[in-house]
A and B are shown apart, each in its own frame.
Chain A
């Protein structure tokens, strides 16, 4: 079974600074997808960024980028120029291409942004 581990229950960052959230996963599959979701206090989970395992190039979405290390099974999220609106729970998620249809989530990292 796949597992996703987020080792940082809480993180904080100064506004305008950069922060990196870590995520590791365990799988025996060679092809899969990885996601970072953001859950603000409004509770609505929103996709931040997606990475396909067969692509070596790291995904980037504006201020958000990932460092995908397939051999190490690591998928960290970097947030540049942090803004107050970035404060939220961040969840790393895994989804395979065969077998189960589910997204497997980590426990989440609570990010605080300090003005």
Chain B
């Protein structure tokens, strides 16, 4: 247990559905991240939040919409996804966005789009 909890662990959704992924950290960190992990590919950073403000958005399609209501919670709202969006979505947090700080990861949500 690293203090970063993601729910749900597994999610199957149709292309017309709307769903949300939730991430919660109990570590008092100020930065939170969403990563996408696909088979045979490196982890791809999607969004970075620092002190509840989005500081990085890596050209992610608008069908993915992040929300950070406070420094402990991060959501990823999903709508009209495509089958190629099926992947493991990892949330992480760190004390801040500085280089040396370690990122702590959740166990991920395995998303399948049908």
Contact = CB atoms under 8 A, between A and B. Distances in A.
A23 to B, nearest CB: 12
A35 B100 CA distance: 9
Interface string B84-113: 000010101000011110111111101000
A79 to B, nearest CB: 19
Contacts of B45: 102-103
Interface stretch (B13-21, B35-43, B61-69, B74-82): B35-43
Contacts of A100: 56
A107 interface: yes
B50 interface: yes
Interface of B: 2, 31, 33, 40-43, 45, 48, 50, 55-56, 58, 88, 90, 92, 97-100, 102-108, 110
Interface of A: 4, 31-33, 35, 37, 42-47, 50, 52, 91, 95-97, 100-108
